[in-house]
Chains A and B, each alone.
Chain A
Amino acid sequence: MSEYNFAYLDEQTKRMIRRAILKGLAVPGYQVPFASREMPMPYGWGTGGVQVTAATLVPSDTLKVIDQGADDTTNAVSIRKFFERTAGVETTEKTAHASIIQTRHRIPEESLTEDQVLVFQVPIPEPLRFLEPSEVETRKMHSLEEYGLMHVKLYEDISRHGHIATSYAYPVKVEGRYVMDPSPIPKFDNPKLGDMAAIQLFGAGREQRIYALPPYTQVVSLDFEDHPFEASKADHACALCGAEHSYLDEVIVDDSGKRMFVCSDTDFCESRRAAGHVGEQAA
């Protein structure tokens, strides 16, 4: 792959993306338009995250890529391989060893540090999109801080279901200003967004938007005083490592539909097992 530049993108393009990232960091939660490039993987498969990672990587970085919390899901493998080939950087599955973590749909269980960057893949960056399909309108709503529609939607959920019926991609407010889509992470992960030591970057390739949360940013999940936000997960412990406070995947294990619950963060689960924690069904 010597015919491609370090991390695939040419330096001019990376510079353009870095400018968008810096702008995003300067205005936390604001969606910065950027001239997203066609990448050699399809739109919707993480092209935004890949471009942000490509523009952020330096040769001394160690990269971790997860999808659904796991290092070995096929698309995570594919993206990790892409950077192994085009950037030749070191890769790892250990959360603590990574300097850049690209993720789809999860925030690692282990707390991140100031030396780390977390890159999210974002399908629909606009938290108001399903309330208002027009981009022209939603940009106007953000600039006027006109978020009434979102509160009405959440209120209607409560009146209909007794709860806010949003379980992932749960909207947040950043530093009291912009309402932001945290990407389709389960709302279990929402509390980790705020006050995080690491830089969080969000890339939406197809929609041509980048946004960011600098370290220690105030991020509040939208709620009401009498219906406070609640981070939820399956009411089980991990069957392999016994963790009680990690996000769990549900796996169907036999023809009669028996279930088991295991950590979605594979590195977290393996580290716990290596440290001697044992779940109910650990072999």
Chain B
Amino acid sequence: MYVAVKGGERAIDNAHAWLAEERRGDPNVAELSVAQIREQLKLAVNRVMAEGSLCDPDLAALAIKQARGDLIEAIFLIRAYRTTLPRFGATAPVDTAQMACDRRISATFKDAPGGQVLGPTFDYTHRLLDFQLAADGEVPDAPVAPPREEATPHITGFLNQEGLIQSEPESDETPPDLTREPLELPAGRPLRLQNLTRGDEGFILGMAYSTQRGYARNHAFVGELRIGTCVLELELPELGFAVEIGEVELTECETMNQFAGSKTEPPQFTRGYGLVFGQSERKAISMALVDRALRWKELGEDDMGAPAQDEEFVLYHSDNIQATGFLEHIKLPHYVDFQAELELVRRLRREAMSSGHQEAAE
């Protein structure tokens, strides 16, 4: 009569087999290739790379396929793989001023050197379902212009010339790495930025949105948003100089925020910064807003008690792999704890009822 919880092992094997079958779906429908995902679901691939903290479009595409399109699951696969990779070096800091831009817009100046380049954006599409795509996804060639040869200067650079925007302290210090050291607070800005760039897009978006709606409001202008490829250089000790080892697609967002000035600083604009792998605009802008909100202390602003200002709150809850793991673990067995609670509640009820009876009798 007592059915023991035996057979866990067989249950797991069978569940995995079923999962594999579900992943494949109807075998009469052609199987997705990793290359198709990489090329045609590129924004999903970008998100998996950004939050997985690993720049490898093929692995990210494979993870998406294996995860049946569940991006957080795909990010998890990438993170778990990343753990096992040895570190053989660190590249020189990427110079985003040298970015070959596919897209570069400024919301603060109508025109600037380098121009406004829309690039491949959804921004001005009408969100009408394109039923044509259901039948045939072939597209005519897009018009091509000669690429800009010279580097595109940063918009904030122009404000800097007038001293209108706060300049950041320069430092050659190696930034900390929260994938190698435990997160300890208070965190400096580099560590916060690392946390934000690999944080959950939805969480960072929600935090950023809350600042726009008045929880630590600090109106942000998108001074510049640029997307393009940057060269990666690695210093080789044997050679004594840096060599190009590849390139990486990045989205960078710099915001300009109001600042009233303080006792030591005249009124000037301040910055928020976002940098994310791939074309990840929403994330980069969100990151910049949250970065700015978290800087209240160093800029001498008031603590409004807003969630986006609370470094511990933001940094401890941004990671979707941590969050989803802990959230979903509550479906694991908790018989033992629940049993202990059951006994306690029964006892408390017994005592409450008997004392209730006593009172009624008195």
Interface segment, one of A94-102, A173-181, A195-203, A248-256: A248-256
Complex Cα distance A234/B341, Å? 11
Asked if residues B339 and A38 are in contact (CB atoms below 8 Å), the reply is no
Main secondary structure of the interface of A (DSSP, over half): loop
Q: Give, as a whole number of angstroms, the nearest-CB distance from A136 to chain B.
A: 5
Q: Are A123 and B335 in contact (CB under 8 A)?
A: no
A186 close to chain B: CB less than 8 A: yes
Do B348 and A163 have beta carbons less than 8 Å apart?
A: yes
- Interface readout for B99-111 with A: 1 if CB under 8 Å, 0 if not? 0000000000000
Given contacts A105-B336, A167-B341, 10 further A-B contacts (CB under 8 A): A10-B86, A38-B79, A38-B83, A42-B328, A45-B325, A70-B5, A75-B333, A167-B344, A168-B340, A186-B339
Considering the chains assembled together, what is the distance between the CA atoms of A204 and B351 in angstroms? Answer: 37
From A39, A73, A104, A247, contact of B5 by CB (8 A): A73
Say how far B187's CB is from chain A's closest CB, in angstroms. 11
Q: Does the CB pair A184–B185 fall under 8 Å? A: no
* Interface positions of A (Cβ within 8 A of B): 4-5, 8-10, 33-40, 42-45, 47, 67-70, 72-78, 81, 104-106, 123, 134-136, 161-163, 165, 167-169, 184-188, 206, 208, 232-234, 239-240, 247-251, 253-254, 260, 262, 264, 266, 281, 283
Q: Which residues of B contact A10 (CB under 8 A)?
A: 84, 86
A72 touching B9, Cβ below 8 Å: yes
Could you tell me if A73 and B80 are in contact, using CB atoms closer than 8 angstroms?
A: no
B83 touches A208 (CB 8 A): no
**B293-322 interface with A by 8 A CB criterion:** 312, 316, 321-322
Q: Contacts A34-B182, A135-B185, A234-B339 known; A165 to B348 CB distance under 8 Å?
A: yes
| Structural contact, B344 and A165, CB atoms closer than 8 A | yes
B positions within 8 Å CB-CB of A: 1-2, 4-9, 11-12, 76, 79-80, 82-84, 86, 179-186, 312, 316, 321-322, 324-330, 332-337, 339-344, 347-348, 351
A258 to chain B, nearest CB (A): 9
By a CB distance below 8 angstroms, the chain A residues around B322 are: 43, 206
B343 touches A232 (CB 8 A): yes
Instruction: Say whether A184 contacts B182, CB under 8 Å.
Output: no
Are A260 and B2 within 8 A (Cβ)? yes
Within the complex, the shortest CB–CB distance from A104 to chain B, in Å, comes to 8
Given contacts A38-B79, A135-B185, A260-B2, contact A69 B336 (CB under 8 A): yes
Please state if B340 and A187 are interface contacts (CB–CB under 8 Å): yes
Chain A residues whose C-beta falls within 8 Å of the C-beta of B327 in the assembled complex? 44
B329 near A123 with CB under 8 A, answer: yes
A44 touches B334 (CB 8 A): no
Give the residue of B79, B328, B339 whose beta carbon is less than 8 angstroms from that of A44.
B328
Indicate whether A45 sits within 8 Å of B9 (C-beta atoms), given known contacts A39-B80, A233-B343. no
Closest 9 CB pairs of A and B: A43-B325, A44-B329, A42-B325, A167-B340, A44-B326, A33-B182, A186-B340, A38-B79, A208-B182
